[in-house]
Structures are given as C-alpha cells and as structure tokens.
Amino acid sequence: MSGGDWLEQLAWGADGLLPAIAQDADSGEVLMVAWMNRDALAATAARGEAVYWSRSRGRLWHKGEESGNTQAVREIRVDCDHDVILLKVTQLGGIACHTGRRTCFYRRLHGGAWEEVDPVLRDPGEIYRE
C-alpha cells in the first residue's frame, strides 16, 4: 500500500463508507465504532482529531463538536482487507459515548440478558443540546 493516493487504496463500501474503530492508544480499550467517508478520513488525517460521517445527520461530524469530548488521533491504521479503519486515540474529556460513558461498549451478555456494567460519568442532558 505504499505510494499513490492513500485514500484510493482503501476498499470503500458501495455507500462510500468504511467502519472506523476508535481505540484508546494507551490502554487498548475499544471506545466506539463509527463510519468514515473519504472526506472524514482526510479531515481526520489533516487535523489530528477524529472526524466521522454521521449517517443519521448526513454530514461530517467532528467528534466532540457538541460535548467537547474530542479524540486526539495518535495513529491511523487499516486492516488487512483495507476495509476497516482503526484510530488509536486519546479520548479528551474521558467520555466517548453519547450516553455519557467512557465507551459505547458498556453492556455485556450475562445469563441470557444484556446488563449495563459501566457507569454514566456525566448526564447526557448536560452534554448535548436538544
């Protein structure tokens, strides 16, 4: 994958998107999964902060634009099939999830049911505008 336009070397989906995993660069904890298009990935690489494509809003979304909980990108990787992006980040503000938790993966399967195992660090109503 050396040389040429690095964005064109990725296996973009039919919708022009790739899944992007945000992982804490120090602990390895998976914080969230979102989507990126070419513009989002290019913006992320250029600014050093995570920018995603919001499928629900139909626009670029700078992580933390409302909450202030931005992601400083320390490294960008791609998987062996060139169809998943891994961002190794420093999660500023300590909250990655819109529910006010550190990670979006706060539920685990236990006894045939999903149980919440991570606490809300900040009430989402205090973080986001309605």
61 pLDDT higher than 60: yes
Bridge partners of residue 21, in order along the sequence:
33, 86
Domains of the chain by residue range: 18-127
**pLDDT of 129:** 64
pLDDT tens digits, residue range 3-43?
Answer: 559 999 999 999 999 999 999 999 999 999 999 999 999 99
Q: Coil, helix or strand for 66? A: coil
Question: What number is the average pLDDT over the span 59-88?
Answer: 96
Question: What number is the average pLDDT over the span 89-118?
Answer: 96
What is the pairing mode between strands 113-116 and 30-36? Answer: unpaired
The fold adopted by the segment(s) 18-127 is Ubiquitin-like (UB roll) (3.10.20)
With bands split at pLDDT 50, 70 and 90, how would you rate the model's confidence at 125? confident
Structure tokens at 130: 């309605």
CA separation (Å) from 2 to 5, 6, 53?
9, 8, 26
Question: What number is the average pLDDT over the span 82-111?
Answer: 96
